[in-house]
Amino acid sequence: MKLAPDQLAAHLERPLAPLYVLFGDEPLLVLEAADAIRAAARTQGFDERETLVVGQGFKWDQLTAAAGNLSLFGSRKLIDLRIPTGKPGRDGGDALQRYVAAPGEGTVTLVTLPELDWATRKTAWFKALEAAATVLELNAPPRERLPDWIAARLARQEQKASREALDFIAEHVEGNLLAAHQEILKLGLLHPSGELTLEDVRAAVLSVARYDLDALREAVLEGDPARCVRLLEGLRAEGAAPPLVLWALATEIRTLAALATARDAGQPLAATMKAERVFDERRRTALSRAVARLRTAQLRTALLAAARIDRIAKGVADGDLWDEFLQLALRLARQ
């Protein structure tokens, strides 16, 4: 059974399911959900807890042994299985399928995984987990929903803020939910319950944005020039490697060029996206919107500009790398 993250609290007020699977791209949300399940297990009498972390040399028979090794005094057990890589291997995949087919009595098993790609989601072991477990996918909210996420967190500590203040926090914790969480807790310590002013927020919130390449690619596809400028300034200040920045931009340009060529030939974009290995629905939507506003000639020019940046990076052409990155990003982001 799939469970939405906002349904978890109500779900945990009922008797626990025998198996939970948590995964997603935001470690903070996965950790919080796992903590909530562990707390509910303690409340419901699962007094024993055994933690298994899958790493090099892990023996999968430990999982079966944990389920069978219950206390003589009849206490129930939470088995906390963590697979940090999201890759259990062949032996682990087989062991997981056997385990979910015959779960131990008197146990609740919590399996935590990182973000999973489309190929992993199609594996037999994950499909077996998905079919048997209560599954929560915990991803960071899209950037446009981040102010609402912050508002909900403030409400937990009986505080609220104007939309302008929420946007200010979101801008200064770009892509970093853990930083947002810390800033929200700080506001709870510094100010009483009630309305927070923009001045309160400005004084308390630090610029802890995580300027990463994925955010830059997202800003380019969304056509957000101001965000592109901010992200590139952050990447430069953090000493990001120019080849990685070029790779991120060039990858998007090549994908967009392939889609534009298909569009001009009257071919369906879905088939081209599959050929380009674009499977994430949110990314498919962003690419579709971007290619709708970009002409094929613009993308050819962008590819030539990326090639020029490559020559500058290799020292065989003159120019300022970061200025060239900025011009390239703005060329793609302008509406």
Domain at 151, CATH number: 1.10.8.60
Q: For residue 74, is pLDDT > 60? A: no
Same structural domain for residues 223 and 305? yes
Residues 245 and 278 in one domain: yes
Same structural domain for residues 42 and 111? yes
Q: Are residues 108 and 56 in the same domain?
A: yes
pLDDT in tens, 239-275: 888 888 999 899 999 999 999 998 988 888 888 888 8
Same domain flag for 9 and 29: yes
Total residue length of the chain: 335
Q: Of the residues 155, 186, 204, which one is the last residue of a structural domain?
A: 204
Q: Which of 68, 69, 80 minimizes the C-alpha distance to 42?
A: 80
In degrees, rounded to 5, the angle at the alpha carbon of residue 272 between the alpha carbons of residues 269 and 278 is 100
Q: State how far the Cα of 130 lies from the Cα of 126, in Å rounded to an integer.
A: 6
Number of folded domains in the chain? Answer: 3
Residue 146 reports pLDDT greater than 70: yes
Task: Report d(CA 189, CA 187) in Å as an integer.
Answer: 5
* 37 and 100 within one domain: yes
C-alpha to C-alpha distance for 322 and 335, rounded to whole angstroms = 22
Same domain, 15 and 114: yes
Residue-number span of the structural domain to which 311 is assigned: 213-333
The span from the CA of 200 to the CA of 205, in Å, is 9
Mean pLDDT of the region 97-118: 90
Sequence-ordered list of residues with C-beta below 8 angstroms from that of 241, at least 6 positions apart, any chain = none
Overall pTM surpassing 0.75 (yes/no): no
The whole-number pLDDT of residue 106 equals 84
Beta sheet of 48-53, edge-to-edge order: 48-53, 77-82, 107-112, 19-23, 134-137
CA atoms within 13 Å, Cβ hemisphere of 11:
17
The reply to whether 198 and 225 lie within a common domain is: no
Two structure tokens written together for 148: 């609402």
Condensed to tens digits (0 to 9), the pLDDT of residues 305-326 reads: 999 999 998 888 889 999 999 9
Specify the pLDDT at position 126: 97
pLDDT of residue 204: 84
> pLDDT tier at 108 (50, 70, 90 boundaries)?
very high
> CA angle 61-66-70, nearest 5°?
145
With 0-12 / 13-18 / 19 or more C-beta atoms within 10 angstroms meaning exposed / middle / buried, residue 260 is buried
Does residue 131 sit in the same domain as residue 148?
A: no
Average pLDDT, the chain: 89
- Domain end residue (candidates: 186, 204, 222): 204
The CATH number of residue 50's host domain is 3.40.50.300
Same domain? 224 vs 314: yes
Residue 72 in this model has a pLDDT that exceeds 60: no
CB contact at 8 A, 22 and 30? yes
Find the CATH number of the domain harbouring 251.
1.20.272.10
| Whether residue 266 sits in one domain with residue 156 | no
Q: Residue 298 is which amino acid? A: Q
Residue 200 and residue 231 in one domain: no
The last residue of a domain, from among 137, 153, 175: 137
Cβ(166)–Cβ(131) below 8 Å: no
Q: What is the mean pLDDT of residues 19-23?
A: 97
> Quick check: 73 pLDDT over 60?
no
Handedness of CA 14, 126, 138, 207 (dihedral sign): positive
- Residues with Cβ within 8 Å of residue 28, at least 6 apart in sequence: 177, 178, 181
